[in-house]
Structure 1
Amino acid sequence: MPLLKPKSFALAIATAAILFCLNAISSPLSQPAAAHQVEISNEVGGTLHIEPDDNPRAGEEVLAWVALTRRGGETIQLAECDCQLTVYTQPRQPDSEPILSPTLSAVASEGYQGIPGADITFPTVGLYTLAISGNPKQADDFSPFELAFDVTVAAGQSQSESSAESAAVPPSAEITDPDTSAPETVASDAIEAPDTVTDDEVSDAGQWPILILLLGGVVIGAISFLAIRQR
């Protein structure tokens, strides 16, 4: 097998470095938002989207809508469906009662018109089931259906701030003996609250390896390019 000439070898290294940089640039530095969920029941399909990025947070109101389609891809509007939306905590049991039953309204979004949607505020962090069921208002328009979607709810900003404030404030000391003249030393006052790691800090930490690799690729490409020109 013939060996590559120094100039050809340097050119190959430069090309590989450039391709690596392009791939690193095209890759997102942050975790992409979750894709819309799709479920099918009988002849009806449903696509769930929670505005704006399918990542609801506890205590924060979000708009959730379901694009319903019948066989053939035609949209089922809320005006054509007796639909009901319910929210359950997981694990959902057959006899579980919904914690929320939001009122549906017609929503226009992402090219859909008149699809069912509702404003929802998930109370706490955790896993939920968002279920939508419906019957046609016009007989034989489509089959009755029930679609269930899994939803993961993260901590809201207000909850994160409350947790940080609670951790920063030490518990107050209770005086049990009012006749004691010497002040008591509260050990908890000397304990500093642990630092709260925010999502931005975690995201920044995860970006450093990518940035280091990107910088290394640029340096290798530049050195190889200079070597080619000198030859």
Structure 2
Amino acid sequence: MYEITSLRQSATLGEEVARRLRYMVITGKLAPGTHLVEDKLARDFDISRGPIRDALRRLEGEGLLESRRRGLFVVGLDESDVEELYTLRESLESLALRHSMQRATPQDWESLLRPLEAMRDAADRGAAEDFAAADLEFHSRFYELSGHRRLVSVWEHYRPTFSVLLSVTNHQDSDLHPSAEAHLALLDAVRSGDVEVSLQELSQHLLGAKNRMRDARSKGTG
């Protein structure tokens, strides 16, 4: 059993449990309709019920679990959920892109080169998880540069879900280099200052991700 020595440590445990459960729900390892019981999860994870309760609350807020009379149950993701998530992300990120292109300096765009290089390095190593982390960091910069506080808040709410989706979709690619270069094309469009071209690049980028997620679901891996 982990020793819970502080609220901060408890919160960290809750985040880790949420991360693991989120992955299991999105990939279908926890099937829709599964009843999640705090006591059993606490035994499975060998921790106290506090972090479990925090994790379940997070996932309920993300729409992956739902409360019924007998407790919390897995909702999971069906085809309509995937469609909703990617159309939501395109709406959010298009707004972030518009705002960031109005505000960002050339030096600001340079900050996207670091996650881009991290993606290339991960592609060289065939490290899908590292690629996903760098991918998410790249896209998060548009929200950070937008100067739109509430937009950032909405993105941070859904970011953990998209982190798992990225992990799933990146595992569909035997070669991650084309995806890294697609990010470079998006960055080049943004740096050119052409908003419409940038939005078109973003739309195609997210459409590819959505299609890979659908492929993963059809293969039973997502």
Structure 1 or 2: more strand by fraction: 1
Q: Could you say which TM-score interval applies, normalised by the shorter chain? A: under 0.3
Structure 1 or 2: more helix by fraction: 2
Structure number with the bigger relative contact order (C-alpha 8 A, sep ≥ 6) is 1
Larger radius of gyration: 1
Q: TM-score, normalised by structure 2?
A: 0.23
Q: TM-score, normalised by structure 1?
A: 0.22
